[in-house]
Structure 1
Amino acid sequence: MGGGMVDPRAAAEPGLIYDMSLTDYIQYLCAMGYENSSLSHFIHDAQCPRTKPTILDINLPSITIPELENVTTVRRTVTNVGHPKSVYQVEVEPPLGTAVKVRPGVLVFGPGIRKLSFEIEVTATATEKTDAGYYFGSMTWRDGLHSVRIPIAVRIVTRWLFSTSP
């Protein structure tokens, strides 16, 4: 499962991008468990934040939740590289066994607004045991000209409680 087929013309004018800076890459390495001493081999004076970041919030153009038990919320930020006055509406295809909410559901860009953040809340709705595999869906921002899709991959984890009789 991936982001889809590449259209070179659309790639030249994507509309929105999931931008990452050096700080984002450092946070990614920190979330992966690298320590400051290891980071210094890559980037001089790089420091992990005091609170370990979650890999779920790294601004990647995909969402993977390896252990969805109840509800998980992830955050993403997009940068408008298209027309300065653009309005994008979200369209969601939730993975099987989940419900997905995106807040806000509309992104409004203007002359002074190039970057906007949003939250994706993924809720496990499966009522019976799953096969512990990944389920796939997607989230797409559309403005009538651009279609910016990212895949969503989720593995639902169900905790089974067993009662013992005295």
Structure 2
Amino acid sequence: MNPLVPYAHQGFGLDSGTSMSTPVVSGIIALLKSLHPTWSPAAFKSALVTTAWRTSPSGEPIFAEGSNKKLADPFDYGGGLVNPEKAADPGLVYDMGTEDYINYMCAAGYKDSSISSVVGKKTKCPTPPTPKPSILDINLPSITIPNLEKEVTLTRSVTNVGPIKSVYKAVIESPLGITVAVNPTTLVFSSEDKKVLTFTVKVKTSYKVNTGYLFGSLTWTDGVHDVQIPVSVRTKIPIKA
């Protein structure tokens, strides 16, 4: 927590960017790890993303940096401005384990030998007739679909890190011209043994032409926790010969 910056010891200096946010976020993660020592790196990331502010703490809109200022979107601010207090008690997390990372590498087209070197054991990606993992199903706390032609269904899982008997309902803010449907729309965590629940998200476009990225969100709420992830969709119609 002692980043080196080229400022003389007079007044103060202001800087931004990844190299400055990294030590700040590292400190927040250290605090969260003291509260939740058994959490995985993915759980910490999820807690930061799903509880972040999408506006300034005072409620003002966030604008992207640059000469032509525009209203910021998830490609500018990621999950948003970190909120350490809420991240300490996120309610749900989008967790990932070794198999999730293996599926990601298989979906991204890595060779079996490369994956085996990374995980430290012999690993083989699925071969036909077993379908290859979809990169859209990687359990990230975000949904990004870069080439939506008609419709696609993807899967996510959430782990309850809050009260044992919790009920969450889905709240969807669909991107303009895009239909987003979640199944089930209610998640019931009924016992200590039922901490992980899976749901599907069907995304359908109404556009018949290519678009830029359009943005929305999916939030699971129990009235106390609002577990929000960004949804980014681009319609891409293939050129027919």
Aligned residue for 2:106?
A: 30
Residue in 2 that maps onto 1:124: 205
Counterpart in 1 of 2:151?
A: 71
Corresponding residue number in structure 1 for 2:126 = 49
Normalising by structure 2, we get a TM-score of: 0.63
The alpha-carbon deviation at position 18 of structure 1 amounts to: 0.5
- Identical residues among aligned pairs (%): 51
Q: In the aligned structure 1, how far is the partner of 2:123 from the partner of 2:90?
A: 31
Could you tell me how far 1:49 is from its partner in structure 2? 2.4
Query: Unpaired runs of 5+ in structure 2?
Result: 1-73
- Greater radius of gyration (CA): 2
Structure 1 match to 2:10: none
Task: List per-residue Cα deviations over 1:87-135 (Å, max 9, x = no partner).
Answer: 0011111112201100000101011311100000001012x534x3111
After TM superposition, the structure 1 = structure 2 runs for residues 102-121 of structure 1, keeping only pairs within 5 Å, are 102-111=182-191, 112-121=193-202
Q: Which runs of 4+ in 1 moved over 4 A?
A: 159-162
Alignment root-mean-square deviation, CA = 1.5
Q: What residue identity is the alignment partner of 1:57?
A: D
- Tell me the TM-score normalised to structure 1 length: 0.90
The answer for the alignment partner of 1:61 in structure 2 is 141
Q: Could you tell me which residue of structure 2 aligns to residue 136 of structure 1?
A: 215
Look up the SS of the partner of 1:141 in the other structure.
strand
**Quick one: structure 1 residues 161 and 22, their matched pair in 2 at CA, closer, same or farther if it must change by over 3 Å?**
closer
The answer for the alignment partner of 2:172 in structure 1 is 92
Q: In structure 2, do the counterparts of structure 1 residues 39 and 106 end up closer, same or farther at CA, with 3 Å as the change threshold?
A: same
Query: Deviations 1:47-67 (Å, cap 9, x if unpaired)?
Result: 222332110111111111111
Q: Which has the larger share of helix?
A: 2
Q: Distance in 2 between matches of 1:25 and 1:49?
A: 14
* Matched residue count: 160
Which structure's residues are more often strand, by fraction?
A: 1
Structure 1 unaligned blocks of 5 or more: none
CA gap of 1:22–1:160, structure 2 versus 1, over 3 A, is closer
* Farther off after superposition, 67-76 or 152-161: 152-161
Distance 1:19 1:49 in 2: 22
Mapped to 1, the partners of 2:104 and 2:196 lie a distance apart of 20
